[in-house]
Amino acid sequence: MGFFSNILAKLGIGKNNEATAAPAPAPNEAPSTATPAAPAPGAAPAPQAVPLVDVVGQLEQRAAANSQKLNWRTSIVDLLKLLDIDSSLAARKELATELGCPADLMGDSASMNIWLHKTVLARIAANGGNVPKDLLD
């Protein structure tokens, strides 16, 4: 499991993806003779839409309950702290590397942090998190 998948897990994103994915048929399996109206025995249920996760609501609730004044809307460090994930420079560099941060930004922690914050929020949104457009710009 990668660093970014820890972020998704803390937000409850992707928990049901495996459960709704249909298993691949075996290569030597004979085609089903079931009628379209009746599902084949043992067939997985039809995939259902994955509900969007209210990321802002979760993070605001965590921020309100936290004794520190954390600004997750602009700070990757604060965002990671709210999720109880290691926010050290080494951890952020690991996350930046995992997400494909340009090499020229890796040497400047401020630039890397800005890139990382925007990228993490965009990736959260791409994976089913409801992130407002103003946080993605």
Could you tell me the two tokens for 26?
């075996």
DSSP per position, the chain: --HHHHHHHHHT-STTHHHHSPPPPPTTPPPP---TTSPPTTPPPPP-PPPPB-HHHHHHHHHHH-SS---TTT-HHHHHHHTT---SHHHHHHHHHHHT--HHHHT-HHHHHHHHHHHHHHHHHHTTB---HHHH-
Instruction: Please compute Rg for the chain using Cα positions.
Output: 20
pLDDT of residue 71: 94
- What are the tens digits of pLDDT across the range 42-74? 555 555 555 678 899 999 999 999 999 999 999
- What are the tens digits of pLDDT across the range 113-123? 999 999 999 99
> pTM for the complete prediction?
0.73
Domain boundaries defined on the chain: 52-137
Q: How confident is the model at residue 32 (pLDDT cuts 50, 70, 90)?
A: very low
Residue 39 has pLDDT above 70, yes or no: no
Residue 137 has pLDDT above 80, yes or no: no
